[in-house]
Amino acid sequence: MKTLLIFFAALLSLISVTNAQTAPRAKGLRVEIMMFSGRPNPVFEITHPDKIREVQLLIGAILQKSGSKDVPEHPKLGYQGIVVTSANPSESGFHSLRVKGVSTKIQAGPGGASKGSESADVSVNDSSPALETRLLALAREQGVIDDQMLEFIKKSK
């Protein structure tokens, strides 16, 4: 009986240590620069509230001025754009988006780009690549891409 009690006490302490070491999921944006085939793409997190808000404002501006349009894709090797995934779609208004140049595809979350529906895909064409430019600048600031990669991206557009 004593051995069983010691076993359960050890098990409970192990569980509490494991739970304490498990980091909570960040409430931010995961950004992946889609540029490699066969090896991992550069990825970073935007967790600072001001930077998250800035990206959300850029997304909102695209949706407001452009409306919903079909944007043709022209697949090729090399840079394929940037994928942004929200850790909290109900707060951000979108689940994920893909931007390349003036083309943006948004998968809205609940209450997002398509009010009244659970989820909707919206493709828009914006006259300015401001969102992509800002995301690339943030990637450069965080050190996930360097000047050589940035030059490769600019040439691949």
Task: Report the C-alpha gap between 73 and 56 in whole angstroms.
Answer: 24
Structure tokens, 5: 């009690």
Q: pLDDT per residue over 12-36, tens digit each?
A: 444 443 333 333 444 799 999 999 8
First to last CA, the chain: 70
pLDDT digits (tens, 9 = 90+) for 82-97: 999 999 888 877 889 9
The answer as to whether 32 is a domain residue is: yes
Would you say residue 88 lies in a domain?
Answer: yes
Residue 13 included in any domain: no
Residue 71: inside a domain: yes
Where in the sequence is the domain holding 80, given as residue range(s)?
27-156
Residue 90 lies in a domain: yes
What's the domain count of the chain?
Answer: 1
Assigned domain for 131 exists = yes
Whether 12 is covered by a domain: the verdict is no
Would the pTM of this model clear 0.75, i.e. be above it? no
- Report the alpha-carbon distance of residue 32 to residue 134 in Å, rounded: 13
Whether 77 is in a domain gets the answer yes
Instruction: Write down the pLDDT at residue 153.
Output: 92
